[in-house]
Amino acid sequence: EHEQIGPAAWVLRGYALAYAPELLNAIQILEQISPFRHMTTPGGFTMSVALTNCGRFGWSSDESGYRYSQTDPLSGKAWPVMPDIFMKLASEAAAVAGFPRFQPDACLVNRYLPGSRLSLHQDKDERDFSAPIVSVSLGMPAVFLFGGLKRTDKARRIPLLHGDVVVWGGPDRLRYHGILPLKDKPHPLLGSVRLNFTFREAG
């Protein structure tokens, strides 16, 4: 089931379901190298979402700004390699949505607990906005806010469930978006956790 939510934005319901066990297995290994951590924003707030990365580039934040870097600021070492299965899932999903040459070099993994939220923002730390972003949701359901190109544009509320994949490109790439505070609706595989993977061409 492929639901179009913008000129170049698609929800692929359940597209990642079959990949979930392998994704979860990979996360267990990944988090031993680069653990989930709560980053500080330039405004001085601590994010309620914990995050880690894999791939050549990883996203991070501190008092001085947001950036992609080739090393994990916690370890000083390279981010863990992106598993082949991540690359396969992301590039297949992008192709289904009309982006046949997507080659992500960054995978940001967000971990939500009950009450975690992500306030309305744009993703504009990547070098080239012509590449899409692919997002994969696992675990507890979330309500995704899908806004416009201005912060004040009215946002649609779209539920994102375990296994859902969303692809955003073209004119939808710079839309404001966010996640409402998570309710505690434990998932059979993950318990009271939501994981979101976002694949990008960052570098």
Q: Which residues bind ligand MD3 (CB under 6 A)?
A: 108, 110, 118, 123, 133, 135, 166, 168, 172-173, 175, 177, 179, 196, 198
Region near Fe ion per CB under 5 A, out of 26-34, 55-63, 99-107, 117-125: 117-125
Strand spans (E) along 2-48: 2-6, 9-12
Instruction: Report what 168 binds from Fe ion, ligand MD3, none; CB cut-off 5-8 Å by kind.
Output: ligand MD3
Q: Is residue 172 near Fe ion by the rule CB under 5 A?
A: no
Region near Fe ion per CB under 5 A, out of 35-43, 115-123, 159-167, 185-193: 115-123
Nearer to ligand MD3, 72 or 172 (CB): 172
Q: How far is the CB of 123 from Fe ion (least distance, A)?
A: 4
Nearer to ligand MD3, 76 or 155 (CB): 155
CA distance 155 to 177: 8
- Residue 24 host element (H or E): helix 20-33
CA distance 194 to 200: 20
Nearer to ligand MD3, 76 or 79 (CB): 79
Taking the CA atoms of residue 109, residue 115, residue 117 and residue 119 in that order, the dihedral angle to the nearest 10 degrees is -160
Instruction: Report what 173 binds from ligand MD3, Fe ion, none; CB cut-off 5-8 Å by kind.
Output: ligand MD3
* CA 102 remoteness from chain centre: 15
Strand spans (E) along the chain: 2-6, 9-12, 50-54, 58-62, 65-69, 106-112, 118-121, 133-139, 142-146, 156-160, 165-168, 177-179, 194-200
Q: How far is the CB of 47 from ligand MD3 (least distance, A)?
A: 10
Nearer to Fe ion, 65 or 186 (CB): 65
